[in-house]
């Protein structure tokens, strides 16, 4: 799950909290936009890819409160400290929440880290 996913009901009307907040282990607080000057992504204890976080820019962030689960990445600035990546157990698996959709690189890195590398990669054909 990413960003504002599940903040609307079946008719598209806004909800005050995520539709599955209890399953995700987080509660919606607010959205920070245009943002976070001087912020830094800080890894939790179990995140090993610290050097890959450099240069990732985040403008829009769904600020959430962590009720349970594990915070793998956190965004910190002078005025804010908020979970960026939260993982909670769900049934026999896990559910992950990434609080932004701003960075394709960050999204891909999170997916590869949590689920393992994709089974195939597509490349452009070589020029002749």
CATH number for the domain including 38?
3.40.50.880
Q: Does the CA dihedral 52-55-61-64 come out positive or negative?
A: positive
pLDDT in tens, the chain (128 residues): 788 888 888 898 999 998 888 888 899 998 887 655 556 777 775 666 655 676 777 778 888 988 899 888 888 777 778 888 889 988 888 888 998 888 888 888 888 888 876 666 667 777 76
Query: Domain range for residue 46?
Result: 21-115
DSSP class of 8? B
Q: How many domains is the chain partitioned into structurally?
A: 1
Q: Does 37 fall in a domain?
A: yes
Distances (CA, A) of 126 to 25, 26, 44, 118, 123: 46, 46, 40, 22, 9
Report the pLDDT value the prediction gives residue 80, as an integer from 0 to 100. 78
Q: Does the CA dihedral 56-61-111-45 come out positive or negative?
A: positive
Nearest to 97 by CA among 13, 12, 26: 26
Q: Does 89 fall in a domain?
A: yes
Q: Does 85 fall in a domain?
A: yes
Strands, sheet with 81-90, edge to edge from the N-terminal-most edge strand:
40-43, 70-76, 81-90, 93-98
Q: Is the pTM of this model over 0.85?
A: no
Q: Does 12 fall in a domain?
A: no
């Amino acid at each position: 799950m990413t960003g504002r996913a599940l903040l609307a009901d079946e008719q598209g009307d806004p909800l005050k909290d995520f539709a599955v907040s209890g399953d995700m282990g987080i509660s919606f607080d607010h959205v920070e936009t245009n943002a976070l000057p001087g912020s830094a992504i800080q890894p939790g204890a179990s995140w090993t890819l610290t050097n890959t976080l450099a240069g990732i820019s985040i403008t829009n962030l769904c600020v959430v409160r962590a009720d349970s689960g594990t915070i793998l990445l956190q965004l910190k600035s002078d005025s804010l400290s908020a979970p960026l990546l939260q993982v909670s157990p769900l049934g026999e698996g896990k559910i992950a929440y990434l609080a932004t959709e701003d960075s394709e690189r960050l999204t891909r890195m999170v997916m590869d880290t949590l689920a393992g590398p994709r089974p195939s990669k597509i490349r452009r054909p070589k020029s002749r």
